[in-house]
Amino acid sequence: MKRRGMQHSLAAHSAPSIEKIERRLFLRQGLSLGALALLSGCELTEDESVQKVLWAMSRWNDRAQAALFDPEKLAPEYPESAITRPFPFNAYYGEDEVRMVDAASYRLELSGLIRDAKPWTLPELYALPQTSQVTRHICVEGWSAIGKWSGVRFRVFLERIGADLAAKYVGFKCADDYYTSIDMATALHPQTLLTFRFADQILPPKYGFPMKLRMPTKLGFKNPKHIMAMFVTNTYPGGYWEDQGYNWFSGS
Amino acid sequence: MNRLHILLVIAMLAGAWLDARAAAEIAGSPTGDAAQTHGAAAESKPKILNPMRAKEPMSGEMKRDGMMKEDVRKQAMKKDAMMQDAMKKEEMKK
């Protein structure tokens, strides 16, 4: 009886320590699993079922980021003296292969959950109310640069075309075959601009002529250049890099 | 293991399961003829004045070994067909 009482008191006394040990065990098991995954190298990560789990975890991560996203919080803006010169070029092809889009025949194609999906010419787009921002472009590769972009607030454009603002996604198709999509909350963010100018000049081809969607709240690869078509949808559209495993939400 | 750990693990697994289901639904939807869809879209496309050396490896640091520039076009065509199908269904629901 005495012994039992002692055990009970010991157990009560050491409960926090046992909890600590269990927590350590939990972490250690997690680390062991990670190490096992590393040991087995590519074979494990290339496995289709593992890919599915990783993809599902990434989508869960997207939802967590979307829940934390504050649609009113602004990204820092900078004075023009802080602009990075020259601004870096980055794409999946070299600068000598930059897409040269013919301005005269250009029409921005619209589709999906949009009331007035007529195509837009460049003069029509340039006639929309314009605004500028000096913001930092943050690349997933680990570098960043400050630039000045000008264009129409994307929210204004979406309202003008009668886009369903309650839809989940806006997708983009680009002249270099690149494609990506964003969440509607980011599309409506006050700093999300459909830009036609860079450093007060018509957007040079290497920075995305005829237009680039600029979002200082997202990593660089989410900012599509050479946009040819856009659509509004409730079906998850993914994106080129996102479909290769990069995180879709990719807030910066 | 305290309650917080358990709740976190359950939430992660539930989220992952829901997303896996959504992925399976998307993957299971009929995709139509990708090339045909792309061809139809190309008719209204504005001119692009220079070719790309598509059969070369990609530039930049986001790529994995072995990725070619033409992979982007191939993926875009597949995705385009899939999205057009899904969006048609959305419009019919409206």
Residue B21's pLDDT band (cuts 50, 70, 90): low
- The whole-angstrom separation of Cα A215 and Cα B65 is 29
* Residues in contact with B19: Cβ distance below 8 Å, sequence separation at least 6, in sequence order: A55, A56, A57, A59, A60
Percentage of chain A exceeding pLDDT 90: 78
Q: What is the DSSP string of A22-46?
A: HHHHHHHHHHHHHHHHHHHTHHHHH
| B16, closest residue in chain A (CA to CA) | A56
Looking at residue B93, its pLDDT comes to: 83
Instruction: Tell me which residue of A216, A217, A220, A232 sits closest to A157, measured CA to CA.
Output: A232
More confident residue, B13 or A237: A237
* Residues in contact with B22: Cβ distance below 8 Å, sequence separation at least 6, in sequence order: A59, A236
Percentage of chain B exceeding pLDDT 70: 57
Q: What is the pTM of this model?
A: 0.76
For B86, the closest of A97, A235, A246 (CB atoms) is A235
Looking at residue A98, its pLDDT comes to: 96
- Res. B38: pLDDT tops 50: no
Looking at residue A188, its pLDDT comes to: 98
Chosen for mutation from B18, B47, B55, B77 (greatest number of chain A CBs closer than 10 Å) is: B47
Show residues of chain B in contact with A99, CB under 8 Å: 48, 50, 52
3-state percent breakdown (helix, strand, coil) of chain A, nearest 5:
40, 25, 40
- Res. B36: pLDDT tops 60: no
- Res. A5: pLDDT tops 50: no
Show residues of chain A in contact with B68, CB under 8 Å: none
* Residues in contact with A124: Cβ distance below 8 Å, sequence separation at least 6, in sequence order: none
Instruction: Sort B4 into a burial class: Cβ within 10 Å, 0-12 / 13-18 / 19+.
Output: exposed
Mean residue pLDDT across chain A: 88
Tell me where in chain A the CATH 3.90.420.10 domain(s) lie: 70-244
| Poorest-pLDDT segment among A12-26, A166-180, A221-235, B49-63 | A12-26
Between β-strands A109-112 and A131-138, what pairing exists: parallel, antiparallel or unpaired?
unpaired
More confident residue, B50 or A203: A203
Q: What is the DSSP string of A103-159?
A: TTT--BEEEESBS----B-HHHHHTS--EEEEEEEE-TTS-EEEEEEEEEEHHHHHH
A59, B44: Cβ pair inside 8 Å?
A: no
Residues 37-76 of B with CB under 8 A from A: 41, 44-50, 52-53, 58-64, 69, 72-73, 75-76
Looking at residue A112, its pLDDT comes to: 97
- The whole-angstrom separation of Cα A97 and Cα B36 is 26
* Residues in contact with A68: Cβ distance below 8 Å, sequence separation at least 6, in sequence order: none
For A92, the closest of B20, B44, B72 (CB atoms) is B72
Tell me the pLDDT tens digit for each residue of A194-242: 999 999 999 999 999 999 999 999 999 999 999 999 999 999 999 999 9
Q: Span A70-244: which CATH code?
A: 3.90.420.10
* Residues in contact with A95: Cβ distance below 8 Å, sequence separation at least 6, in sequence order: A89, A206
- Res. B84: pLDDT tops 60: yes
Backbone angles phi, psi at A85, to 5 degrees: -130, 130
- The whole-angstrom separation of Cα B5 and Cα B9 is 6
Tell me the pLDDT tens digit for each residue of A163-189: 999 999 999 999 999 999 999 999 999
